Structure 1
């Protein structure tokens, strides 16, 4: 799996506070991250960060307008930090994006291509946000795709179920963390 990378997307303090339902999401994600490191699969963190004063947010963007009104996503705020339970280690790459997709307003594609990565393993919050948008764009960019269904989380469990059970399998392998760890074990 030398051509793969694990993307850990939008697992930031404020987002976890809103979405985490106490189902053990962070420990499962931590297992996936530790497994990737053990298998020498690069772990790339993706965070959403908007400029102070929000000159990069249009009032036509309903989601971001509501988020900044609620004080979310501003660069430098403690809530935009990656949650400490899944924090990067020295040498992990952190990419900042400006919209829903991990590719939007970021240098993610450049980082991936420079490293020869052509296959992505997607995790993150929310399934209906960053995971969906990144999956669609990565599919259009011809990346091989895997989604770790139980390392994705959404505030609406039914939306998560429909996306991971019906939509995502059209473009990606959808598996659980434990099955993926078994597949990549050295």
Structure 2
């Protein structure tokens, strides 16, 4: 494995925390498309993230490019039972979910937004917390596919994208967060002042870059493709 790593990956580290992955093998890569669901993306949705709609063309282009080069594409859907029995303490800090007003399993709102729906061969994982790794089959899928690199896109940047990226890092995956394929929304004043979506996005990406992932644009990522290796048998 070490010889393969040396052949397909180059990492540079500066004086600051964080790292830049210079080249990577798409076949050893999983793209995690986080929570691009109707309840987040549709106009007037209870958790509407309008900037999430705006990034769909760029997100689709990147996902298609990686899929065409052999990457594993995995969509996540954050869902809860209508009676809230699987939500735990999360329902106390996220009232719409706690009251069954959003992300109800089996509802139209919990489905992936049609303009960025999974394609044949893609996987869909249902999750119940921010991280796509928490009590899901994701880790097993990545092991079965010999995945080394994880690319995280979707919504929202500061919550489910961040939690998933951090859990990927702590499971020793080389982790990318794609700046122009993630989105968030305005945050009201919770005692320290309100933040616009752009402020939340900027702050989240800075923190991710310094602590968790290689944060880059979709165009920058595509330039780093290397020739794929043969998967182990």
Instruction: Identify the residue that residue 11 of structure 1 maps to in structure 2.
Output: 36
- Distance across 2 between alignment mates of 1:33 and 1:121: 10
Q: How does 1:1-186 map to 2 (within 5 A)?
A: 1=25, 2-17=27-42, 18-21=48-51, 24-59=54-89, 61-69=91-99, 71-155=101-185, 156-184=197-225
Gaps of 5+ in 1: none
Higher helix fraction: Structure 1 or Structure 2? 1
Could you tell me the TM-score, scaled by structure 2's length?
0.74
Indicate conservation of the 8 Å contact 1:57/1:65, yes or no. Answer: no
- Distance across 2 between alignment mates of 1:154 and 1:183: 26
1:14-46 Cα offsets, whole Å, 9 max, x none, are 111300237731111111111111211111111
- Distance across 1 between alignment mates of 2:208 and 2:216: 14
Q: CA RMSD in A?
A: 1.9
Gaps of 5+ in 2: 1-24, 43-47, 186-196, 228-233
Which structure: larger Rg?
2
Indicate conservation of the 8 Å contact 2:29/2:72, yes or no. Answer: yes
Indicate conservation of the 8 Å contact 2:150/2:174, yes or no. Answer: yes
Of 82-91 and 162-171, more deviation after overlay is shown by 162-171
Could you tell me the TM-score, scaled by structure 1's length?
0.91
> Using CA pairs below 8 Å that are at least 6 residues apart, which structure has the higher relative contact order?
1
